[in-house]
Amino acid sequence: MDTTLRPTTAGATGSTLGTRANASSRLVPTRSTSAVDDTAPNTAADAAAPSAPLRANGGASRIASGLQDQVAGAQQALDYLDRVATQLEALKGELTAKLASTRNGSRLQLEVQARQLAHTLAGRKKNGGGSIDSNLNYSTRPATQRFRIRGLDIDSVKKSAPQTISFSVGGAGGPQMGVNIEPDQSNQQIARALDRALAPMGVHASLDENGELVFTTPESNWSSVKDSIAVSGRGRVTTDEVPANLAPQQWNVSADTGNADALRQSLREVVQALERVHRSQASASAALQAASTQVADAAPPPPDMTIAADDFSKVAAATDYESLIALTSALVGVSRDRVLALLGLR
């Protein structure tokens, strides 16, 4: 069957190629619904018409836009978490040895490893796939920034009840959302009411592990939120980031004798961080496995793959302008990370 990319005399495309993001990131043909007479000679209109562009069909678009991002993000997260876990294990050993005084000269090595870990943590947003938060927790959703609104806590809200609190995020005159607080509401009910009011603005409210009010927003949204939250009766309010649980840049490990209590606290932070990293590794692996299953289910049948390979070879071998445009259009957005991530599923 002739698979040359050319239109029929009516202008319909005889055969176009669609990209399909599967485990090998190969191309699948999208067939025209109109009949093509392969035996008819080319007309002048055929010769002058441009080659049909390579375009993705509905299934390929769905996979390329969501599944590939999920696969690449989970794999990038796993690579980052593996690096952090290795550094944490090394720090754990150094801290244990220093506390036990069983290793001479471990002070310098401990300082170097603490600086290395701090540098790795500082590069989390760039290297963590966008799905690991500051406490090294993994989620298939974008990482969030935790913060507090100064002067707005559970005790102050309950003390002023009944009251109506209105919030706005953005410039003056922006949309406002209000919430009614009643004296008989529990702490959890107040947090849920605030969450419902703030959710349309991309901000969420909840209670942390200590029962204190904490707010979250996607890290990508934090720069536009932190200085633009206004509360009725108070105007613009001050927001404070909730610091990460692990802060090696603040450790006191430089003294020759060392502060035993400080070292023990650092060791506890390392052990707790390792537990979170192990949980995150398991979650990221599960997400990668789920994505692998979806790729397998969405894979096209072998005959289509053969046709796609033949069609792609013919387009790639052509040197005319239209064919080059079709080829480059099909490969737009296919990054090295995506290709490696998909090949890794095989």
The residues spanned by each domain of the chain are 1-136+247-346, 144-241
CATH fold of 1-136+247-346, please? f41 fragment of flagellin, N-terminal domain (1.20.1330)
The two three-digit tokens of residue 153, written as one number: 């806590």
pLDDT for residue 315 is more than 60: yes
Q: What is the pTM of this model?
A: 0.62
What pLDDT score does 340 carry? Answer: 67
What pLDDT score does 30 carry? Answer: 40
* Share above pLDDT 70 across residues of the chain, in percent, rounded to a whole number: 68
The answer to whether 291 and 71 are in contact (CB under 8 A) is yes
How would residue 341 be classed by pLDDT, with cut points 50, 70 and 90?
A: low
Mention the CATH class of domain 144-241: alpha beta
Nearest of 117, 107, 111 to residue 86 by alpha carbon: 117
Q: What is the mean pLDDT of residues 44-59?
A: 44
What pLDDT score does 79 carry? Answer: 95
60-68's contacts with Cβ under 8 Å and 24+ in sequence apart are 60/18, 60/19, 60/20, 60/21, 60/28, 63/20, 63/21, 63/22, 63/294, 63/295, 63/298, 64/19, 64/21, 64/333, 67/21, 67/291, 67/294, 67/295, 67/298, 68/21, 68/338, 68/341, 68/342
pLDDT per residue over 115-124, tens digit each?
999 999 999 9
Distance CA 299, CA 284 (A): 22
Q: Any residues with CB less than 8 A from the CB of 221 and at least 6 apart, and which?
A: 202
314 residue type, one letter: K
How would residue 103 be classed by pLDDT, with cut points 50, 70 and 90?
A: low
Q: Which residue has the higher pLDDT, 190 or 40?
A: 190
Nearest of 158, 163, 172 to residue 229 by alpha carbon: 172
pLDDT for residue 312 is more than 60: yes
pLDDT for residue 90 is more than 90: yes
Domain 144-241 in the same topology as domain 1-136+247-346: no
